[in-house]
A and B are shown apart, each in its own frame.
Chain A
């Protein structure tokens, strides 16, 4: 049983009782989470956790600091309140610090499924058992994770802001391994029955089987079809760059590029927590309602996102993308929805005379923060395409490519779908066919 609204309210009442700060903000976050992990066709790790964390922010004389605890007895809450205030009062006043916000109006979202939140370990194990049977049917070895649970979050201020959000979570990822190949698939959602785990297992198995005995292709520039997870993990490196503070501080690749055409004309990107395929709470780290923000239209960077502090500086409304205060980063979009295209996966392959299909990317890191050159490896299913057909699997390659350049070379897109990778947050993105993607070296498998 996770954190209830009533318990969160009671904890905040205790905070108000003990806080002597001019202003106080409190967030209460409950996690009830279980994960069943499998490898070598057996469950080798199986875990469950329950935790509730109270985080208190004290404000005193234009100064602020935060403490957190997972102890809720009177003495612990009182100590946390006193510590937050003492830490705040040690600092010099910050003239840009705003008062804590008061009551807000939120657009409701329904992202809770009781069955997913309470799914028992036996049900997860039985599901994993069917995936293992699927692997063994083709002589493959399965490894992966199946998790379920819920996250509940209450946010309060001494000025009367009070909001509570509860969301169920589930995630299934699988890697199917053959003697010389592998395939991967991942699904996430608020309802575990919507994950279509059987389809994910089949997809991963098919990729492992079709990429057996991979061949080498030389490094160079290729036409590449990036499946949605591969695009997502690269795009994640742009998220912080859309924050107004990052641009103000000249640490963003979009510095000096607002209202300029940075990407191809066919690129349209919004941040939209209310999109039916998205997840998360309808408010930010300060409790400000999240707004849908059009970030890129026709390739032009149209808007940034603004915390309250950035919004005041720029004389624009806050967009509801601020991180909990105090922080160094300001704000970022966290519910990316990229407009897709009409092309099916098969149509993109059929249209490719010579190129590569990439399932996922791995260990992506930023090489150049302004040009946004990223490096990383392909993983778990990379294929050679010739004359409109997948011909064979290839050994994995290292890329060095700019995500900005990539989004200027998108030739075709599939419809967007809810996607999860391993190196960024979930997004709604398409598969893309891009030209001149730079692979710089290859590895041995």
Chain B
């Protein structure tokens, strides 16, 4: 790895690059799934390659290759410089980077049980037992379980002298029970929908999830959804389960605080942001109960946004985003920090693989815990609706107007969870929503959720992000919007 990376740096310098960084990445993945009593997917993959990003003639260029022989490395470095020179044909300003110190380091993320050394049969056996439990419940028409493992071994070197080796292992697992009847398809998932829970850890995460224990309850709930009432339409106090809060944070806080969106870099595709540069220190984003950080440090936990250094070699940081409801900070890169007069990047540049450039991405954007348990909050609420596990999510391209649906809801009456409700949904405007949030549950209900499928960029990149969240209460929000005619 090191020889190829250094050679690419040397070649780019000889060709006229004034800055270069190289990432050589070896990625290994394993995806396993079961469906209705059979293995559905059993798939292993590996991908090795080198990507070099340069500044030449004051503009960016990037090229990547799967070949690491000397000739190919020289060619790809020269190509990156040629691409940068082409960029300079439409240059309005020279690229400037916020300063960053040279780093030489090695870091390996938490992984107690290596999922790649574990027999595949152990994983399949557990999933098939879960599958069996799900299908034991009458009305379940489709039982699915999955496990997803990814190890990234990355070397970063830069023309500023940094040399950083990082190894991360990510694990995800979950299951879903589907029930078709009449004119309805209902689903329940555990521990979350769309693949389950993901963290930067080993197989110990799967063991902690205790999938088998939860299978009967989840299957019963999926079947029961056909027998329960439709979630009403109107304005209600709601309580959201922590995984749903995690996605709400992702969409209505995490994306708008990406400074490249604010500056217009994503105007054609992922969209922009309502958080214009005059907002920090002025915008009351939420109620005083809302405190949010973007925290990539190990101390925050093993989230999908946990690392030691970002893909520009900037050390992991904890950045205040919202303090007592006041908006205070963005996710930044070295370039966007320099453009907006910041002394330093917040360390949020991340690339999906060796063949993609780093972009500003969420790290672990988390809502800090408040006080009390979920049971306390339900008891305190009196009348309302409790909603759990995301089913659909959508938000406009500047991140104001959102709508979410969840798999299940329960009516809260007299401070108690009562009848089940199907097809719950709610919608609103981002800042109105967070300002209507008057209670955040405490650390006992706080979970660092993983969102493994965040899309951004052209060509598209998928990134894993972390979101610590505990249940919250929102006062008088519009419920039932998805089915309102």
| A residues apposed to B, CB below 8 Å | 33-53, 55, 63-71, 83-84, 87-88, 90-92, 94, 120-122, 124-126, 128-129, 132, 141, 143-145, 147, 173-175, 177, 182, 184, 249-251, 255, 326-328, 362-371, 373, 375-377, 379, 396, 398, 400, 422, 438, 440-445
What is the bound-complex CA distance between A34 and B92, given in angstroms?
Answer: 22
Provide 9 A-B residue pairs closer than 8 Å at the C-beta atoms, listed in order of the A residue.
Answer: A39-B267, A90-B120, A125-B86, A132-B90, A363-B394, A370-B185, A375-B482, A377-B396, A445-B396
Least CB separation from A245: chain B residue: B35
Most B CB contacts (10 A, CB to CB) among A36, A51, A120 go to A51
Q: Mark B40-70, 1 if CB is under 8 A from A, else 0.
A: 1111111111010000000111111111000
Kindly list the 7 A-B residue pairs having the minimum CB-CB distance in the complex, ordered from nearest. Answer: A121-B86, A250-B180, A443-B401, A143-B267, A65-B42, A42-B92, A143-B268
Determine whether the beta carbon of B48 is less than 8 Å from that of A396.
no
Chain B residue numbers with a CB within 8 Å of A63 are 39
What is the bound-complex CA distance between A367 and B178, given in angstroms?
Answer: 15
Least CB separation from B36: chain A residue: A249
Determine whether the beta carbon of B268 is less than 8 Å from that of A48.
no
Determine whether the beta carbon of A250 is less than 8 Å from that of B42.
no
Most A CB contacts (10 A, CB to CB) among B64, B266, B401 go to B401
- The stretch among B6-14, B149-157, B207-215, B423-431 that forms the contact with chain A is B423-431
Q: Does B282 contact A (CB under 8 A)?
A: no
Determine whether the beta carbon of B87 is less than 8 Å from that of A36.
yes
Determine whether the beta carbon of B483 is less than 8 Å from that of A90.
no
Q: Does B22 contact A (CB under 8 A)?
A: no
Chain A residue numbers with a CB within 8 Å of B62 are 45-48
> CB within 8 A of A121: which of B83, B269, B429, B481?
B83
Chain A residue numbers with a CB within 8 Å of B184 are 370
Q: Does B485 contact A (CB under 8 A)?
A: yes
Most A CB contacts (10 A, CB to CB) among B268, B392, B393, B429 go to B268
Chain A residue numbers with a CB within 8 Å of B40 are 326-328
Chain A residue numbers with a CB within 8 Å of B394 are 363-365, 375-377, 398
A36 and B178 in contact (CB under 8 A), knowing A174-B268, A400-B484?
no
> Main SS of chain B's interface residues?
mixed
Distance (Å) between the CB of A281 and the closest chain B CB?
A: 20
Distance (Å) between the CB of B30 and the closest chain A CB?
A: 9
Chain B residue numbers with a CB within 8 Å of A44 are 60, 87, 265
Apart from the given pairs A40-B265, A125-B90, A145-B268, 18 other A-B contacts in the complex at a CB distance below 8 Å: A37-B458, A42-B92, A50-B65, A67-B43, A69-B46, A83-B44, A174-B268, A249-B142, A251-B180, A327-B40, A328-B144, A362-B271, A363-B394, A367-B392, A377-B396, A377-B401, A440-B481, A444-B401
Chain A residue numbers with a CB within 8 Å of B392 are 365-367, 375
Determine whether the beta carbon of B45 is less than 8 Å from that of A67.
yes
Distance (Å) between the CB of B93 and the closest chain A CB?
A: 7
Chain A residue numbers with a CB within 8 Å of B120 are 87, 90
Determine whether the beta carbon of B64 is less than 8 Å from that of A66.
no
Determine whether the beta carbon of B185 is less than 8 Å from that of A398.
no
Least CB separation from B68: chain A residue: A71
Chain A residue numbers with a CB within 8 Å of B484 are 400, 440
What is the bound-complex CA distance between A396 and B83, given in angstroms?
Answer: 37
Determine whether the beta carbon of A50 is less than 8 Å from that of B142.
no
Determine whether the beta carbon of A438 is less than 8 Å from that of B46.
no
Chain A residue numbers with a CB within 8 Å of B47 are 51, 53, 68-70
What is the bound-complex CA distance between A328 and B175, given in angstroms?
Answer: 14
> CB within 8 A of B401: which of A69, A369, A370, A441?
A441
Chain A residue numbers with a CB within 8 Å of B395 are 363, 377
Q: Does B355 contact A (CB under 8 A)?
A: yes
Determine whether the beta carbon of A365 is less than 8 Å from that of B89.
no
> CB within 8 A of B264: which of A36, A124, A177?
A177
Q: Does B82 contact A (CB under 8 A)?
A: yes
Determine whether the beta carbon of B39 is less than 8 Å from that of A43.
no
What is the bound-complex CA distance between A55 and B43, given in angstroms?
Answer: 10
Chain A residue numbers with a CB within 8 Å of B119 are 90
Chain A residue numbers with a CB within 8 Å of B371 are none
Most A CB contacts (10 A, CB to CB) among B43, B62, B67, B269 go to B43
A46 and B87 in contact (CB under 8 A), knowing A143-B268, A398-B396?
yes
Determine whether the beta carbon of B185 is less than 8 Å from that of A175.
no
What is the bound-complex CA distance between A94 and B39, given in angstroms?
Answer: 8
Determine whether the beta carbon of B42 is less than 8 Å from that of A88.
yes
Determine whether the beta carbon of A326 is less than 8 Å from that of B39.
yes
Q: Does B38 contact A (CB under 8 A)?
A: yes
Least CB separation from A79: chain B residue: B46
A92 and B39 in contact (CB under 8 A), knowing A35-B459, A48-B63, A249-B142?
yes
Q: Does B236 contact A (CB under 8 A)?
A: no
Distance (Å) between the CB of B66 and the closest chain A CB?
A: 4
What is the bound-complex CA distance between A68 and B28, given in angstroms?
Answer: 10
Determine whether the beta carbon of A255 is less than 8 Å from that of B459.
no
Chain A residue numbers with a CB within 8 Å of B478 are 441
Distance (Å) between the CB of B470 and the closest chain A CB?
A: 25
Q: Does B323 contact A (CB under 8 A)?
A: no
What is the bound-complex CA distance between A78 and B452, given in angstroms?
Answer: 31
Least CB separation from A377: chain B residue: B396
Q: Does B121 contact A (CB under 8 A)?
A: yes
A326 and B43 in contact (CB under 8 A), knowing A362-B271, A363-B395?
yes
Chain A residue numbers with a CB within 8 Å of B183 are 370-371
Chain B residue numbers with a CB within 8 Å of A92 are 38-39
> CB within 8 A of A396: which of B65, B396, B481?
B396
Determine whether the beta carbon of A65 is less than 8 Å from that of B91.
no
What is the bound-complex CA distance between A84 and B67, given in angstroms?
Answer: 23
Q: Mark B261-283, 1 if CB is under 8 A from A, else 0.
A: 00111111101001000000000
Chain B residue numbers with a CB within 8 Å of A43 are 59-60, 86-87, 89-91
Q: Does B79 contact A (CB under 8 A)?
A: yes
What is the bound-complex CA distance between A442 and B269, given in angstroms?
Answer: 20
Chain A residue numbers with a CB within 8 Å of B367 are none
A48 and B83 in contact (CB under 8 A), knowing A94-B39, A122-B89, A328-B144?
yes
Distance (Å) between the CB of A75 and the closest chain B CB?
A: 13
Determine whether the beta carbon of A47 is less than 8 Å from that of B42.
no
Distance (Å) between the CB of A323 and the closest chain B CB?
A: 10
A368 and B423 in contact (CB under 8 A), knowing A35-B458, A326-B41?
yes
Distance (Å) between the CB of A286 and the closest chain B CB?
A: 15
Determine whether the beta carbon of A327 is less than 8 Å from that of B86.
no
What is the bound-complex CA distance between A362 and B395, given in angstroms?
Answer: 8
Chain B residue numbers with a CB within 8 Å of A40 are 92, 263-265
Chain A residue numbers with a CB within 8 Å of B287 are none
Distance (Å) between the CB of A405 and the closest chain B CB?
A: 10
Most B CB contacts (10 A, CB to CB) among A33, A44, A173 go to A44
What is the bound-complex CA distance between A363 and B403, given in angstroms?
Answer: 10
What is the bound-complex CA distance between A216 and B429, given in angstroms?
Answer: 16
Least CB separation from B182: chain A residue: A370
Chain B residue numbers with a CB within 8 Å of A91 are 39, 42, 124
